């Protein structure tokens, strides 16, 4: 089964992403486990975290300087809301 594409993303408090997929599902991903080191550590800044946007035609989500999350993790590690 093909993985659904991300239709939209909305950064939320607590370093969460609210994701809408092209199959109609609404899911939430906790990004806190990714926030470590100098590269992904930048996501700790709420202003920077808010730059999350959909890239690659819905394949994944990225931030202003290119940090991203593996496409399968966006779906598999998120929970329905």
Give pTM, 2 decimals. 0.94
72: CATH: 3.30.2020.10
Q: How far apart are CA 42 and CA 64, in angstroms?
A: 10
Who's near 48: CB < 8 A, 6+ residues apart?
42, 63, 64
Taking a C-beta distance cutoff of 8 angstroms, is the pair 80, 19 a contact?
no
The range of the structural domain enclosing residue 37 comes to 6-80
Q: How far apart are CA 81 and CA 43, in angstroms?
A: 23
Q: In total, how many domains does the chain have?
A: 1
Q: Is residue 1 part of a domain?
A: no
Per-residue pLDDT tens, the chain, 81 aa: give them. 688 999 999 999 999 999 999 999 999 999 999 999 999 999 999 999 999 999 999 999 999 999 999 999 999 999 999
């Amino acid at each position: 089964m093909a993985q659904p594409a991300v239709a939209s993303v909305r950064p939320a408090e607590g370093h969460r992403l609210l994701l809408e997929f092209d199959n109609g599902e609404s899911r939430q991903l906790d990004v806190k486990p990714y926030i470590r080191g100098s590269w992904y550590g930048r996501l700790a800044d709420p202003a920077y975290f808010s730059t999350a946007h959909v890239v690659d035609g819905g394949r994944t989500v990225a931030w202003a300087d290119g940090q991203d999350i593996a496409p399968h993790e966006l779906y598999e590690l998120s929970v329905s809301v």
